[in-house]
Amino acid sequence: MTENRANGTAPVTAPQHSVEGFVKEFLRELHFGQGVTLARASDNDQYLALARTVREYLMARWLETLRRQFDAQAKSVAYLSAEYLLGRQLDNALIATDLTEIVEEGLASLGIDLATLREQEVEPGLGNGGLGRLAACFVDSLATMSVPCIGYGIRYEYGIFRQTFVDGWQVEQPDTWLSLGAPWEFPHPEHSVPVHFGGHTETYDDGGVERTRWVPAWDVLGVPYNYMVPGYQNGRVNTLRLWSARATKAFDLQIFNSGEYVDAVRAQTFAENISKVLYPEDSTPQGKELRLQQQYFFVACSIRDFVENVLPEDFDLHDLPERIIFQLNDTHPVIAVPELMRILVDEKKWDWDEAWAVTQKCFAYTCHTLLPEALEVWPVELLGRLLPRHLEIIYRINDDFLAEVAQRFPGDELRLRRMSIIAEHPERSVRMAYLATVAGAKVNGVAELHSQLLRDKVLPDFSEYWPDKFTNVTNGVTPRRFVRLANPALSELITDAVGPGWVTDLERLREMEPLADDAEFRERFRAVKAHNKDRLNALLQRRDGITLPADAMLDVMVKRLHEYKRQTLKVLHIVSQYERIVSGELDPTSIPRRVFAFGAKAAPGYKMAKQIIGLINHVGAVVNTDPRVQGALTVVFPPNYNVTLAETLIPAADLSEQISLAGKEASGTGNMKFALNGALTIGTDDGANVEIRQLVGDDHFFLFGLLEPQVEQVVAAGYEPSRYYEENRTLRRAIDLIASGAFANGDRKVFEPIVSNLLHEDRFLVLADFQSYVEAQERVDAAYLDTEGWTRSAILNVARSGFFSSDRSMWDYIDRIWHAQPVVAR
Ligand code: 475
């Protein structure tokens, strides 16, 4: 769909919003879309027909949205993100259109169960974790708020790998999410965009002006695939545009003409590799050439698309900042900065300064990390080979910037070296976070603490130089998917209590607060949890053959596997409880029965993370089957944690584990999802945990561990993990038990790397926080035994977490960074 023709007049009407209207349309799709009769239709046929029927209900709104947006010529947000972790589309489209009941009834009249069809959908896993899921929440919120936004990204043919366990060890399988059909996407090959790579630059005389041009060596085509992003029951549908790489005609012809048919076909494959697979590293990006190709590929397509297809034909690009803000989701799309400069200077033939003034107003940068190893750098050699003109532009940006700094701080050579976009060691490379900071109108962190540390620790020279450039926007999650869709039972209870408005105005949850003191309401709240646990149990049975014990506290830690998140701390707690039980120190009937649930993927090349997964599974195999435990401890680790599993797991949780080392987790968003679904948090003073605790109150949050400034001190004083091992008997026994081979059939070597890392390195201070964690867990046990008190706290967690709606995050971005406005119906 080309936006500039979106104001055409042919009427587009949705099917009737009734059971009959739906059934008629569904059967039409089954017959004419899938080419099968109902009698012969497979579940997948039925799912595809259903998806196409539902999208028909959205189509008129989509076209109307585009028309309205074009007419208004309003400022748009272009969210540039290499990842969108969308989750399943069907249910979200059903709640957005308020069709769930109609569809349920209509399908039932044909003898079809909606739940069965839901299960057919393979979620688009086009992201690794937090950052990708955040992008999906943000586009949902913007659509629901009627703010013009295009999400731009990559249509990976293979999303995040499917995780399986073989003998408890992670084995990756390809994610073939497109193989059974992709009913939610709209390919538009006629709007394909060429993207160039390689070659060299040259200068030429342009009527007395010396200019530079890029003479690239090869190119590919970006084919746009559009996805609907429906607002919640507001008649609005925004667009997510994901790019897929194809070989260009010119590329083929050249080689075909030379008679090298087989080589030509191979070259085609080469081009198409660019969008083939999502890199599965989160937080430790590898400097792979294909990754840089992906980054440039999608931002080059996106900028060209916006300038040529979204803006009107005669648009004066000097006004670009009034029409667009490119929000950079971490540094992955930062190459967009020199790309826009290249277009303005080389193609549009603007003066450098004129182009830079516009460019600086068009970008803003969000940082999602604090780990130094997660800050992207690209070797100059690689960048110069792939994008020679962009490297020149980066050099010029850097030269101009450093000249400015030198003026303000004369003679401060060290400062210039610290602030240079080009690092000299260990290899000459481009610091993408610095480029983003220099070019961006604003730079934000994703929680209060993170934004503060970003200013003080990661980019101190820059925040001194531009104090007003830095701001915070605390992350949020969409209440549509993570409460309304994931937790229908709680949604009904909330709606009974405060009315339906909370779905788009989450602060309304506050009105529930007094009900925490209402015994009948607490009873109903517990019934919701029990129902959600049954639902989880049924899913895990079906999915993995896992059975949960009845009446147990559900303690959940789900997130990517990373040492800084400290899954090992939780394992050490489980092992120590186990050891205390089998040694007779702890009576298993004296503590509440607990299920320890894990969900986590490890980057395939991250050895230690994979070891930890192996350890969790092996500990589970021993603990779960030891009769002495008497069912007090159960470890479950369903494989392939993803958005779909989260939607059933989170609503069932009693306890949320947010136990990263203080100062390492930028924000966390899982922590918000749990609180909103009535789990209590055991957590460190890290990321958005800080804000969760402030809002829900200390009495309803289990805080433990070193605070961020204390972490600094402990490290500065020369941290020795072995000291904690020697001085803490419980800890020592737990580690000794692992070291003894008790969880590896007596083989001491299997988990030796984990043990020796903990004892001799322990970069994330697991041992230092162990005692404090165990004590907090004792407080958890005691609190859980007080059923009414626990329920009260759980209700207050829900009632006080409205702040964590991604709608609020979006308003903050609008106020502090974007200055865009909703476009409302005329
Ligand atoms: C933080 N991913 C969370 C979340 O702001 C935070 C990095 C490199 C390459 C690919 N993916 C990544 C991340 O850095 C990431 O997901 N960061 C997370 O962003 C949203 O809530 O604390 O760890």
3-state SS, residue 206: strand
153 inside domain = yes
23's tokens: 């059934």
**Is the domain of 263 the same as that of 407?**
yes
Q: Rounded to two decimals, what is the model's pTM?
A: 0.97
Tell how far the Cα of 28 is from the centroid of ligand 1, in angstroms. 43
**Taking 80 as the threshold, does the pLDDT of residue 264 lie above it?**
no
**Is the domain of 716 the same as that of 771?**
yes
Separation of alpha carbons 802 and 742, rounded Å? 45
pLDDT for the residue numbered 6: 47
Separation of alpha carbons 58 and 231, rounded Å? 10
The answer to whether the beta carbons of residues 128 and 282 sit under 8 Å apart is yes
500 inside domain = no
pLDDT for the residue numbered 9: 61
Burial level of 545, CB count in 10 A (0-12/13-18/19+)?
Answer: exposed
**Is the domain of 236 the same as that of 130?**
yes
Specify the residue with its C-alpha closest to ligand 1, atom 4: 130
Helix, strand, coil shares of the chain as percentages rounded to 5? 55, 15, 30
131 pocket-lining for ligand 1 (C-beta < 6 Å): yes
Confidence of residue 250 (pLDDT cuts 50, 70, 90): low
**Taking 90 as the threshold, does the pLDDT of residue 263 lie above it?**
no
Confidence of residue 252 (pLDDT cuts 50, 70, 90): low
**Is the domain of 749 the same as that of 762?**
yes
Classify the complex by whether its ipTM is higher than 0.85, answering yes or no: yes
Looking at residues 309-333, what average pLDDT do you find?
A: 96
**Taking 70 as the threshold, does the pLDDT of residue 61 lie above it?**
yes
pLDDT tens, 274-310? 999 999 987 777 779 999 999 999 999 999 999 999 8
pLDDT tens, 774-814? 999 999 999 999 999 999 999 999 999 999 999 999 999 99
Looking at residues 165-173, what average pLDDT do you find?
A: 98
Separation of alpha carbons 442 and 444, rounded Å? 7
669 pocket-lining for ligand 1 (C-beta < 6 Å): yes
Least confident span in 255-264, 283-292, 412-421, 592-601: 255-264
Share of the chain above pLDDT 70, in %: 97
pLDDT for the residue numbered 2: 43
369 pocket-lining for ligand 1 (C-beta < 6 Å): yes
Task: State the chain's mean pLDDT as an integer.
Answer: 95
520 inside domain = no
**Residue 127: partners with Cβ closer than 8 Å, 6 or more residues away:** 83, 84, 85, 86, 133, 135, 136, 159, 160, 278
666 pocket-lining for ligand 1 (C-beta < 6 Å): yes
514 inside domain = no
H/E stretch holding 421 reads none
**In Å, what is the CA distance from 320 to each residue of 215, 353, 362, 373?**
27, 15, 7, 35
Tell how far the Cα of 129 is from the centroid of ligand 1, in angstroms. 7
Confidence of residue 512 (pLDDT cuts 50, 70, 90): very high
pLDDT tens, 642-689? 999 999 999 999 999 999 999 999 999 999 999 999 999 999 999 999
Cα 325–chain centre separation? 21
H/E stretch holding 596 reads strand 594-599
Burial level of 424, CB count in 10 A (0-12/13-18/19+)?
Answer: exposed
Looking at residues 493-518, what average pLDDT do you find?
A: 98
692 inside domain = yes
668 pocket-lining for ligand 1 (C-beta < 6 Å): yes
175 pocket-lining for ligand 1 (C-beta < 6 Å): no
Tell how far the Cα of 126 is from the centroid of ligand 1, in angstroms. 14
Domain count, the chain: 3
333 pocket-lining for ligand 1 (C-beta < 6 Å): no
Least confident span in 252-256, 508-512, 606-610: 252-256
Looking at residues 34-56, what average pLDDT do you find?
A: 97
Looking at residues 756-780, what average pLDDT do you find?
A: 98
3-state SS, residue 583: coil
Q: Using most ligand atoms within 8 A of CB, pick from 160, 161, 283 the residue to mutate for ligand 1.
A: 283
**Is the domain of 602 the same as that of 538?**
yes
**Is the domain of 188 the same as that of 263?**
yes
Q: Using most ligand atoms within 8 A of CB, pick from 332, 367, 368 the residue to mutate for ligand 1.
A: 368
pLDDT for the residue numbered 249: 72
pLDDT for the residue numbered 826: 45
Burial level of 745, CB count in 10 A (0-12/13-18/19+)?
Answer: exposed
Query: Relative to the CA of 669, which ligand 1 atom is closest?
Result: 21
Tell how far the Cα of 609 is from the centroid of ligand 1, in angstroms. 16
**Is the domain of 152 the same as that of 106?**
no
Confidence of residue 155 (pLDDT cuts 50, 70, 90): very high
Tell how far the Cα of 374 is from the centroid of ligand 1, in angstroms. 9
Active site residues: 368, 559-560, 565, 669, 673
pLDDT tens, 451-460? 999 999 999 9
421 pocket-lining for ligand 1 (C-beta < 6 Å): no
Share of the chain above pLDDT 90, in %: 91
pLDDT for the residue numbered 3: 43
H/E stretch holding 658 reads strand 655-658
Question: What is the phi/psi pair of residue 378, to 5°?
Answer: -120, 125
Report the CATH number at residue 571.
Answer: 3.40.50.2000
Confidence of residue 1 (pLDDT cuts 50, 70, 90): very low
**Is the domain of 708 the same as that of 635?**
yes
**Is the domain of 31 the same as that of 144?**
no
Confidence of residue 248 (pLDDT cuts 50, 70, 90): confident
The answer to whether the beta carbons of residues 712 and 661 sit under 8 Å apart is no
Least confident span in 113-127, 274-288, 361-375, 495-509: 274-288
**In Å, what is the CA distance from 70 to each residue of 12, 513, 546, 547?**
17, 43, 52, 54
**Is the domain of 105 the same as that of 153?**
no
**Is the domain of 109 the same as that of 218?**
no
518 inside domain = no
735 inside domain = yes
Tell how far the Cα of 692 is from the centroid of ligand 1, in angstroms. 19
Question: What is the phi/psi pair of residue 728, to 5°?
Answer: -115, 110
**In Å, what is the CA distance from 572 to each residue of 47, 254, 774?**
44, 62, 9
Give the number of C-alpha atoms closer than 13 A to the C-alpha of residue 388, restricted to the C-beta side.
13
The answer to whether the beta carbons of residues 653 and 677 sit under 8 Å apart is yes
Looking at residues 746-771, what average pLDDT do you find?
A: 98
417 inside domain = yes
**Is the domain of 453 the same as that of 443?**
yes
Domain that holds residue 681: 479-484+530-804
Specify the residue with its C-alpha closest to ligand 1, atom 11: 282
Looking at residues 404-418, what average pLDDT do you find?
A: 98
**Taking 70 as the threshold, does the pLDDT of residue 253 lie above it?**
no
